[in-house]
Chains A and B, each alone.
Chain A
Amino acid sequence: MSDSASSATGDSVDLNALLADSQVRSVLDELDRELIGLKAVKSRVSEIAALLLIDRARKQVGLAGAPPSLHMSFTGNPGTGKTTVALRMAQILHRLGYVRKGHLVSVTRDDLVGQYIGHTAPKTKEVLKKAMGGVLFIDEAYYLYRPENERDYGQEAIEILLQVMENQRDDLVVILAGYRERMDTFFKSNPGLSSRIAHHLEFPDYGPDELQQIAQTMLAQMQYRLSSSGAQALREYIPLRMAQPHFANARSVRNALDRARLRQAKRLFAQSDKPLTREDLMTIEAEDLRASRVFG
């Protein structure tokens, strides 16, 4: 590496220089800014970043050491940001030079498990080959193991996965994600898998304030904004929606906002006799939110 000369002199290492040229700081900052809440997750991510940076520094002064195992499991309810963090994780690992390409391959059971005997192994291997040099994200990983059917091909996929996780640790990072309870039973019935995963990250549910902030960030990204009465309506909407069945945290908020945009468009059409300003096109009013069925 050409930059090693500037940051390592003899047997001392300048950590700040290493940090600067890895550009990992900007990804971490972005993570901090764009993801609301998730304190435990963020601190674990920065711990991992620190570990990799130290590992790199150690390498520069000639201290040997096997690369750390970075396979992870993300557990949490729907809409708590597992996929988003996985994407960021791929970026961070890439900037720190732990994975070579830094792409994320996101798969579910269907992509790994075949339909007949002899179909599973090639399918799983193909996915693994595509994920090499990056991060393999297995969503709803517990579907891989179906205890009720002892001939299920999922077991075969797990075995291939295990082998690669163990032998080609420097080629890819595997992240298993899913709901908390079901992942726990999954790991209990596959102790080999559990023991090869060093980092178990838990994604807690968001509180109403965090969801409000998330909504504001999402709207800002879509170049919308709430009027002050609209913000108040959202504040009332969130606890009501949280009490409803099938509440999926940030995902529900996103859906609610999409429906509000729909109603805003309808409202603007209804008053089409006067010209629309930029402001009108951007603003979501209270009535767009209050038309929701949760207020009914």
Chain B
Amino acid sequence: MKITQGTFSFLPDLTDQEITAQIQYALDQGWAISVEYTDDPHPRNCYWEMWGNPMFDLPDAAGAVQEVRDARKAHPQTYIRVNAFDATRGFETTRLSFIVNRPSNEPGFGLVRQEGAGRNIRYTIESYAAKSPEGRRYE
């Protein structure tokens, strides 16, 4: 199951050239680029690990793209995303965020039912991958 999230979730995976162009666009807007990775695919997981510090004041995308490549080399079997942060007053938030790397095999999610008081059923989803401990989820 291909997990999608972020700005280009409706598109097929971006090529390196497209990633470079997107990063360049973000830099041209004056946004700061950061790279993050995680092996917990749950859509509500907002605690991704930082790959290095966010990059401020870059004129050209080449440096940020190099960081993406380094992150892929170090963590090939994780989700890696690129965030672009806009520090303009009033925004002060992430303006662009997209996935640039995913594990080769994504097992997807199982539905979990919990029976509560009065035969009440609560539903949740759980990733099959997240059942193994962190760091061994996509081996």
Q: Which residues of A contact B (CB under 8 A)?
A: 100-101, 103, 122, 126, 128-130, 132-134, 168, 171-172
Whether A100 lies near B66 (C-beta < 8 A) is: no
What are 21 pairs between A and B in contact, CB < 8 Å?
A100-B60, A101-B60, A103-B59, A126-B55, A129-B55, A129-B63, A129-B64, A129-B67, A130-B58, A130-B63, A132-B58, A132-B61, A132-B62, A132-B66, A133-B59, A133-B61, A134-B59, A134-B60, A168-B62, A171-B60, A172-B62
**Does chain A have a CB within 8 A of B57?**
yes
The residues of B that contact A134 with a CB separation of less than 8 Å are 59-60
Q: Which residue of A lies closest to B57 (CB)?
A: A130
B103 CB to closest chain A CB (Å) equals: 27
A171 & B59 in contact (Cβ 8 Å cutoff): no
Nearest residue (CB) in B for A164 is: B66
Name the prevailing secondary structure of the A interface residues: loop
The B44-69 residues at the A interface (CB cut-off 8 A) are 52-53, 55, 57-64, 66-67
Please provide the chain B residues from 25 to 49 with a CB less than 8 Å away from any CB of chain A in the complex: none
Task: Return chain A residues, CB-CB under 8 Å to B67.
Answer: 129
**B59 touches which of A101, A122, A126, A168 (Cβ 8 Å):** A101
Complex contacts, A130 vs chain B, CB 8 Å? 57-59, 63
Complex CA distance for A132 and B61, rounded to whole angstroms:
8
Contacts of B58 in A (CB 8 A): 129-130, 132
- Chain A residues lying within 8 Å of B57, measured Cβ to Cβ, are 130
A-side contacts of B66, CB under 8 Å: 129, 132, 168
Q: Which residues from chain B contact A101 at a C-beta distance below 8 Å?
A: 59-60
A-facing residues in B86-113 (Cβ within 8 Å): none
Give the most central of A103, A129, A134, A171: most B CB within 10 Å. Answer: A129
- Nearest CB of chain B from residue A71's CB, rounded to whole Å: 16
What CA separation (Å) do A103 and B61 show in the bound complex?
14
The one of B52, B53, B63 that contacts A132, using a Cβ cutoff of 8 Å: B63
Cβ contacts under 8 Å, A128 to chain B: 63
Q: How far is the CB of B40 from chain A (nearest CB, A)?
A: 27
Complexed CA–CA distance, A133 and B55 (Å): 15
Residues of B within 8 A of A132 (CB): 58-63, 66
Using A101-B59, A129-B63, A132-B66 as known contacts, list a sample of 7 further A-B pairs with CB atoms less than 8 Å apart, ordered by residue number in A.
A122-B53, A128-B63, A129-B58, A130-B59, A132-B63, A133-B59, A133-B60
